[in-house]
Amino acid sequence: MFDKILHNKDNLQRGLAFAYRVGDYFENKVGQAIVNTPLGVDELGDDFSFNTWYRVPIDGCMTGDGSLYYIFVKKGRSDNLLVFFSGGGVAWNEYTAARPSGGGRITAGLPNYYWDNLRPFTQIMNIRVGITEDNNPKNLFKDYSQVIITYATGDFHVGNNDYSYKDENGNEKILHFHGYENFRRAMEVSKKFFPSPKKLLIAGDSAGAFAVSALSGIVYEDYYKECDDITLLADSGQLLYDKWHDTAKNIWKCDKDIYDVIYTDNITADWFEALFGRYKNKFKYLYASSTHDYLLSAYYNDVANKVYGSDSDVQNEYYLQLCDMIDRLHKINPDFAFYINDFRNMMVMKGGMHGGTTHTNVRSMNFHRGNVDMISMERWLYDATCGNVYSSGLELLDKRSK
């Protein structure tokens, strides 16, 4: 029996090592393909062509591991502007800081919490899909100018700290929680290129969804206060944790205005409450989520149970938390509008990531796909920017009492 246990353990370790190598190999190949083909994005020079993506490095800014930080910009043919906060995970303590994401860790199903740098592979998570498609003539947002505030700092775009930690091998490392400085400098670029939008859409997915609730007031107040038509979309920003206030204050070292308003385990709802309290209906407020998000439920499982993985039990817990969150946001602002879907998660990974529904849709092919109401997120969001604000898919939350 003991020999069998050792044999099984050895097979598991070999399987994880193989999956890790496959994941890294795939990531490197995709990165090479992007760099060596027209899919690559040029650095912005003197020529700023319409409907073309450019990379804009920002001097003095850095990603989590201290490497080069840059954003993506595209000039559209309308006077409308999308400012988009990218996602890419979160680090809230030393353990999570020591486990950044990468193709190998993801494929092997090993705990991985945030992207700590920008590289060719991460381009596919930022542009040319969903709302950022530049080659789809039917994309309702194709004529918007777009500024993609990339993210690789693990701090919901709000951090101001150089955080010391030990990696998995015991080596001393620094995680640069510089998300807030990166955001500020990115907005300076946005204001320079797109000074006076007629309509402004501030959106974000995953970690970027949290940033929408935290930073939209600053985007308006300091950069686009003259704009009278502003829509906010947070796509999938739910992660309950009773130490968010401490994390924001002492680990990320956010500005006081950002951490002081956090008083519950729902940081997104706290930030939206503060935002609405200050600006009322200056903005149109939108929130989107799938019902049983496989990834956010895995993060919550890690927070609550120290288990990095997602199963039906924790996905159902996520669902109940989502119901409560929607209720709270609606109480904060009765005009809050929601987009709920139950698109199935089709990813297959090792390590306890099973079933559930998708994680974010605004930058995926599902952006164009109809939900239970046969309404796509694309149509719902576009209607909201045109003044027709409504909710879709709320019937999917009616099962909470069954």
Residue range 115-131, pLDDT digits in tens: 999 987 778 888 999 99
Residues 333-356 have pLDDT tens digits of: 999 999 999 999 987 555 556 789
Residue type, 145: S
- When mean pLDDT is compared across 23-32, 176-185, 295-304, 360-369, the lowest value belongs to 23-32
Class of residue 89 by CB neighbours under 10 A (exposed 0-12, middle 13-18, buried 19+)? buried
95 has pLDDT over 60: yes
Contact 364, 357 (CB under 8 A): no
**332 φ, ψ to 5°?**
-60, -45
What's the domain count of the chain?
Answer: 1
Statement: the pTM of the whole predicted model exceeds 0.85: yes
- CB count, 10 Å around CB of 322? 25
* Burial track 268-302 (b if 16+ CB lie within 10 A, e otherwise): bbbbbbbbbeebeeebbbbbbbbbbbbbbbbbbbb
Domain that holds residue 146: 2-401
Q: From 276, 294, 287, 273, select the one nearest 362 (Cα to Cα).
A: 287
pLDDT bin (cut points 50, 70, 90) of residue 26 is: very low
Say if residues 174 and 66 touch (Cβ distance below 8 Å). yes
CB atoms within 10 A of CB 235: 30
